[in-house]
């Protein structure tokens, strides 16, 4: 396994574009059942907000040692202001398009004794006006960055993702995408796609054996003209498909507390190591290690270069 290239990573600028959200956590104690309904009563003792979605990818990029610019859409509300504040605190350059007709996407999680008990989502699709503003920002920023990461959570921000990929490729940038949905044609010409096992099955159908998965993955990769395709497979580890063949790494034994945001960590690690010149087959080893660390934490979390090394 190649050494972690921290010195090279520190010189790299990563542009992260995608669905932004605020992850809000209410932590509490649970000692009784409500007299009003058969549900537990959570006595909230701590509140915490974190950058979610594309914001969590940018958090991980910075934590892993690189510089990050975050482009997304927020509403003219408290959630949008909080995302800006959290980005500033992390040293992330946030270029936010304001959409006055929507509220910022918010995921509120209520936890009792570190166990998630309820999640409440608030979300709205952005308007075409704010999408145009976002594209203009991306067009201006792409020439100043080394690599582009697209974080698609199917909230509408990457509605015109094919145009963004085309623009990046014109400027010679490597493009990594965390995809959503079952139509991956919109991600054609990207360098790397990182679907999880469920997302992969939605795109190519279920598989009956490892060989069947290999055949389907390589066929999809060639159809979309991808350099590589990385399937994250939970307890089975992760498998990379490229012109060089198939590279698999087993999951590292680890007690799993929370898988939320693990895909963001994997994507960010692949981006920073690739930006530093590491081949995909080596980058997945670091991504696998980072993923194993982050699932041992509660909530949408990050991995630092120090933890990895």
Give catalytic residues, as residue numbers: 264
Q: How far is CA 54 from CA 13, 132, 170, 177, 303, in A?
A: 16, 18, 23, 11, 15
Q: Which two tokens stand for residue 148?
A: 């582009």
Residue 189 gets the label, from left (phi > 0), alpha (psi -120 to 50) or beta, of left
The two tokens of residue 251 are 């999951």
Residues forming a β-bridge with 80 = none
244, with CB counted inside 10 A (0-12, 13-18, 19+), is exposed
Here the tokens at position 57 are: 């990818």
The Cα–Cα gap between 222 and 271 comes to 21
Contact 184, 193 (CB under 8 A): yes
> Is residue 53 exposed (0-12), middle (13-18) or buried (19+ Cβ within 10 Å)?
buried
**For residues 121 and 38, is the Cβ–Cβ distance under 8 A?**
no
Non-local CB neighbours of 260 within 8 Å, separated by 6+ positions = 299, 300
Which two structure tokens, joined as six digits, stand for 291?
A: 């993923």
Distances (CA, A) of 113 to 108, 180, 260, 293, 301: 16, 32, 17, 21, 17
**Beta partners for residue 262, in sequence order:** none
């Amino acid at each position: 396994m190649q050494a972690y290239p921290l010195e090279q990573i520190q010189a790299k600028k990563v542009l992260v574009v995608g669905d932004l959200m605020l992850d809000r956590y209410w932590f509490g104690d649970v000692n009784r059942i409500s007299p009003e309904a058969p549900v537990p009563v959570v006595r909230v003792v701590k509140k915490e907000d974190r950058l979610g979605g594309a914001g969590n990818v940018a958090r991980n990029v910075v934590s892993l040692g690189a510089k990050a610019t975050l482009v997304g859409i927020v509403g003219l509300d408290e959630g949008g202001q909080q995302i800006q504040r959290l980005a500033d605190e992390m040293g992330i350059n946030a270029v936010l398009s304001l959409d006055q007709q929507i509220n910022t996407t918010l995921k509120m999680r209520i936890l009792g004794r570190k166990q998630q008990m309820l999640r409440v989502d608030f979300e709205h699709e952005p308007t075409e006006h704010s999408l145009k503003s976002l594209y203009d920002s991306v067009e201006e920023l792409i020439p100043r960055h080394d690599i582009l990461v697209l974080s698609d959570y199917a909230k509408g921000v990457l509605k015109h993702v094919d145009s963004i990929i085309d623009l990046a490729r014109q400027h010679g940038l490597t493009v990594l995408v965390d995809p959503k949905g079952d139509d991956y044609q919109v991600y054609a010409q990207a360098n790397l796609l990182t679907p999880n096992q469920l997302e992969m099955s939605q795109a190519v159908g279920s598989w009956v054996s490892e060989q069947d998965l290999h055949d389907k993955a390589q066929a999809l990769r060639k159809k979309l003209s991808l350099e590589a395709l990385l399937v994250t497979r939970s307890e089975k580890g992760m498998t990379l498909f490229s012109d060089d063949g198939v590279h698999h790494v087993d999951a590292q034994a680890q007690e799993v507390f929370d898988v939320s945001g693990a895909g963001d960590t994997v994507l960010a690690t692949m981006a920073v190591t690739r930006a530093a010149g590491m081949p995909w087959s080596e980058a997945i080893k670091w991504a696998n290690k980072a993923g194993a660390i982050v699932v041992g934490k509660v909530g949408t979390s990050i991995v630092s270069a120090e933890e990895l090394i």
